[in-house]
């Protein structure tokens, strides 16, 4: 078996008209991994034929939906770390966000998350030309779970009474791709598809 499990086939040009910028928007979308997988099987989530890490259609099956969490500026923090494993290079994905800890309904949602696996969509502040880099997707292959310490509330320190919630790849279920991108045709089309994910599919 060839020990080289990777092969580069292209280079990268600088786009001088759309120089990159940092930062992410505060809001995220959570999708249950089981519902994501059903849509992939049904063919309503599809991947680009030439760029497998590009999702070009994202529609959940009937009755399923994503759950939109509104956050606060500078508090949603995705981190992706490359790790060398015996079977090859893998990526550990994680994302932190916060929810108001003073509302009972919010803590019920936190409880209901349990030990489930989720796909997480976050929004880049810098979107590239035509919004091509706006929506980034984590947990596509294995799903993200709350690790130990994945929900923390300390009202006596400077966290303003909010829960700090984390989702991360499990050490035995890392991703083979740093992250996926969702983009369909142009920014307006992709924005519309993202909004539909937040409603029960029909």
pLDDT tens figures, 25-75: 999 999 999 999 999 999 999 999 888 899 999 999 988 899 999 998 889
Contact 138, 157 (CB under 8 A): no
Sheet holding 45-47, edge to edge: 45-47, 54-58, 180-182, 135-138, 118-124, 24-32, 67-69
Position 13 confidence tier, pLDDT thresholds 50, 70, 90 = confident
Q: pLDDT at position 19, please? A: 79
Q: Return the closest-CA partner of residue 118 out of 157, 99, 145, 98.
A: 145
Is the pLDDT at 2 greater than 80, yes or no? Answer: no
Say which DSSP state 145 is in: B
Position 158 confidence tier, pLDDT thresholds 50, 70, 90 = low
Question: 183 is written with which tokens?
Answer: 């983009």
Sheet holding 77-85, edge to edge: 77-85, 88-100, 162-168, 151-152
Q: Which ranges of 46-172 does DSSP label H, i.e. alpha helix?
A: 104-113
Contacts of 194 (CB under 8 A, 6+ apart): 29, 58, 121, 135, 182
Q: Model-level pTM?
A: 0.92
Q: pLDDT at position 153, please? A: 87
Task: Look at the block and give the residue holding tokens 């310490």.
Answer: 149
């Amino acid at each position: 078996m060839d020990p080289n499990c990777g092969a580069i086939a292209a280079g990268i040009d600088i786009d001088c008209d759309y120089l990159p910028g940092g930062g992410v928007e505060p809001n995220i979308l959570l999708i249950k991994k089981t519902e994501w997988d059903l849509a992939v099987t049904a063919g309503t989530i599809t991947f680009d034929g030439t760029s497998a890490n590009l999702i070009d259609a994202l529609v959940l099956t009937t009755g399923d939906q994503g759950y939109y969490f509104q956050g606060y500026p500078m508090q949603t923090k995705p981190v992706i770390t490359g790790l060398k494993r015996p079977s090859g290079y893998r990526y550990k994905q994680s994302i932190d966000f916060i929810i108001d800890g003073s509302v009972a309904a919010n803590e019920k949602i936190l409880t209901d998350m349990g030990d489930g696996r989720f796909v997480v969509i976050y929004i880049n502040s810098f979107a590239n030309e035509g919004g091509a880099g706006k929506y980034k997707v984590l947990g596509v292959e294995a799903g993200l779970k709350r690790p130990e310490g994945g929900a923390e509330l300390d009202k006596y320190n400077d966290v303003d009474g909010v829960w700090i919630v984390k989702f991360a790849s499990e050490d035995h279920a890392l991703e083979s791709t740093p992250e996926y991108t969702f983009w369909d045709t142009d920014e307006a089309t992709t924005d519309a598809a993202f909004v539909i994910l937040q409603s029960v599919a029909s």
